[in-house]
């Protein structure tokens, strides 16, 4: 029996941290709320909640915001999160452009700066990251919580970029580099996984325990949240569905094999197969119902639908959200996805599965990077 990390003790400090994160989450999710309500929701005593809220108020993370209506007794004092109590530096390392921004605790972006990558080598690209961080950092008006980075490619759990798509980065320990250079906690993760966490944390009232977010753009990737946690798998490669072979007789992929999902369903692949000059033109002609491009778009949708059917069949995850530039293809594409996913999976399962349009989401990677950091530093999502 070699592995023993699963033998990790529980301490009083952990109990405290858990309950502190619990109260913070309650404030975060349930808006202005009384201490008594938090106590009822969490099962903690009013005493403990009062103490934990006092801690949060001392840290400036929460504040009393007046009284609520009485329900037959003393009217409660409502406590709310101070959304701007902390600032997060977020980065989206796109394939051609790097973007940095500031975000508050709600993922509201304020200062956005971009830098073009054109022609820079790996070292210079890292320099660009540093410059962007220094640049937006000057605009911060509340204490910095840390740096969150989303990037294409494979990133392992400690924030080392295994390989980047079109940079000569290999085994670059970016999280550690950023922590040392800027003196702040840093998180680096794959962009699809960031997108999943953004959808989970900022996605509205529903917060499904299990959620798969599929990002379809230049590549095809997924972020998988299981039991309220991002799932990484044995090699932090979970969600790399773009290179599952869907058609062994298909065309060659840049990964060297034939018929990967990306060769059928990624934006460049669909544009090439449809023979249009640009993706914009493809969207226009798809919307117009052009018969010369529709079959290609539908085939791409069906390929994604089949992949979803495989996922839902195996995992029984009922919440699927699709984001990325490809969502501009609209109804025909989504219908193809839903039809194929439904046709290929068990009836009751297909009936309850929701495949949602998450939009093109230019900011989804920035938001995801922010969500990653909030999760890590404040425990805003479950992590134990």
Partner DNA sequence: GCGCTTTGTCCGGGGGATTGACAAAGTAGT
Partner DNA sequence: ACTACTTTGTCAATCCCCCGGACAAAGCGC
Instruction: Show contacts with DNA in window 233-272 (CB under 7 A).
Output: none
Spell out, one character per residue from 88 to 117, where the chain touches a copy of itself: x when CB under 8 A holds, - when not. ------------------------------
47-77 b/e with 16+ CB inside 10 Å = b?
ebbbbbbeebeeeebbeeeeeeeeeeeeebe
For position 356 contacting a copy of itself by CB under 8 A, the verdict is no
Q: What phi and psi values does residue 73 have, to the nearest 5 degrees?
A: -145, -155
What Å distances lie between residue 275 and 35, 45, 55, 291, 382, CA to CA? 61, 65, 61, 13, 46
278 part of the interface to DNA, by CB under 7 A: no
Total interface residues for a copy of itself by CB under 8 A:
75
Q: By rule CB under 7 A, what count of residues binds DNA? A: 32
- 51 vs 377, beta carbon nearer DNA: 51
Q: Are 135 and 112 a contacting pair, CB within 8 Å?
A: no
Binder of residue 238, out of a copy of itself, DNA, none (CB less than 5 to 8 A by kind):
a copy of itself
Q: Does 157 bind a copy of itself (CB under 8 A)?
A: no
Quick one: which of 32, 36, 42, 50 contacts a copy of itself (CB under 8 A)? 42
Site for DNA in 9-28 (CB under 7 A): 9-13, 15-16, 19
Smallest separation (angstroms) from DNA to the CB of 43 = 7
Q: Is 48 in the site for DNA (CB under 7 A)?
A: yes
**Any bridge partners for residue 144, and if so which?**
87
Burial 237-256 (b: 16+ CB within 10 A, else e): ebbbbbbeebeeebeebeee
Q: How far apart are CA 172 and CA 159, in angstroms?
A: 9
> Which one among 109, 328, 349, 356 touches a copy of itself, defined by CB under 8 A?
349
Instruction: State the maximum Cα–Cα separation within the chain, in Å, rounded to a whole number.
Output: 72
Between residues 50 and 173, which has the closer beta carbon with respect to DNA?
50
CB atoms within 10 A of CB 84: 14
Shortest distance in whole angstroms from residue 273 CB to DNA? 58
Contact characters 178-217, a copy of itself, x per CB under 8 A: ---------------------------xxxxxx-------
Computed on alpha carbons and rounded to an integer, the radius of gyration of the chain in Å comes to: 23
Site string for a copy of itself, 212-251 (x = CB under 8 A): ----------x-x-xxxx-xxxxxxxxxxx-xxx--x---
Contacts of 263 (CB under 8 A, 6+ apart): 247, 250, 251, 252, 253, 269
Mask for 282-321, x = binds a copy of itself (CB under 8 A): -------------------------x-xxx-xxxxxxx--
Residue among 180 and 352 whose Cβ is closer to a copy of itself: 352
Q: How far apart are CA 232 and CA 338, in angstroms?
A: 26
**Which stretches within 93-173 are classed as H helix?**
122-137
We find the least distance from the C-beta atom of residue 183 to a copy of itself, in angstroms, to be: 29
E-strand ranges in the chain read: 33-34, 62-67, 77-81, 87-93, 97-103, 109-116, 144-151, 154-155, 161-163, 170-172, 186-190, 211-216, 220-226, 229-230, 319-323, 354-357
Secondary structure of residue 116 in the 3-state scheme: strand
Min dist CB 63 to DNA, Å, is 12
Binding site partner of 34, from DNA, a copy of itself, none, Cβ cut-off 5-8 A by kind: DNA
Residue 92 or 262: which CB sits closer to a copy of itself? Answer: 262
Q: In the stretch 67-106, what mask flags binding to DNA with x, by CB under 7 A? A: x--xxxxxxxx-----------------------------
Contacts with DNA, residue ranges (CB under 7 A): 9-13, 15-16, 19, 34-37, 43-48, 50-54, 67, 70-77
């Amino acid at each position: 029996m070699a592995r023993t990390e699963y033998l990790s003790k529980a301490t009083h400090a952990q109990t405290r941290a858990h309950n502190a994160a619990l109260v913070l989450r309650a404030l975060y999710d349930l808006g202005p709320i009384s201490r008594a309500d938090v106590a009822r929701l969490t099962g903690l005593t009013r005493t403990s909640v009062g103490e934990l809220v006092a801690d949060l108020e001392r840290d400036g993370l929460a504040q009393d915001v007046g009284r609520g209506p009485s329900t037959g007794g003393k009217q409660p004092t409502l406590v709310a999160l101070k959304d701007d109590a902390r600032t997060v530096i977020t980065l989206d390392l796109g394939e051609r452009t790097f973007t940095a921004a500031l975000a508050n605790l709600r993922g509201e972006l304020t200062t956005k700066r971009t830098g073009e990558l054109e022609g820079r080598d790996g070292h210079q690209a890292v320099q660009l990251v540093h410059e962007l961080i220094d640049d937006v950092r000057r605009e911060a008006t509340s204490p910095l919580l840390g740096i969150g980075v989303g990037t294409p490619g494979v990133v392992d759990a400690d924030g080392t970029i295994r390989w980047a798509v079109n940079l000569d980065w290999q085994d670059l320990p970016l999280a550690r580099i950023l922590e040392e250079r800027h003196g702040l906690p840093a998180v680096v993760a794959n962009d699809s996984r960031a997108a999943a966490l953004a959808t989970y944390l900022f996605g509205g009232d529903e917060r499904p325990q299990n959620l798969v977010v599929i990002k379809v753009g230049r590549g095809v990737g997924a972020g998988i949240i299981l039991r309220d946690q991002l799932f990484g798998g044995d090699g932090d490669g979970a969600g790399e569905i773009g290179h599952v072979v869907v058609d062994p007789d298909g065309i060659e992929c840049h990964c060297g094999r034939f018929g990967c999902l990306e060769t059928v369903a990624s934006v460049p692949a669909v544009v090439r197969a449809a023979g249009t000059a640009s993706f914009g033109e493809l969207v226009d002609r798809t919307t117009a119902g052009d018969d010369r491009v529709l079959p290609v778009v539908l085939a791409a949708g069906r390929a994604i639908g089949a992949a979803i059917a495989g996922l839902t069949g195996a995992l029984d995850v009922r919440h699927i959200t699709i984001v990325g530039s490809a969502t501009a293809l609209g109804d025909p594409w989504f219908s193809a996805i839903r039809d194929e996913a439904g046709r290929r999976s068990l009836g009751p399962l297909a009936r309850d599965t929701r495949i949602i349009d998450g939009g093109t989401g230019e900011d989804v990677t920035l938001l995801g990077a922010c969500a990653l950091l909030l999760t890590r530093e404040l425990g805003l999502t479950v992590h134990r």
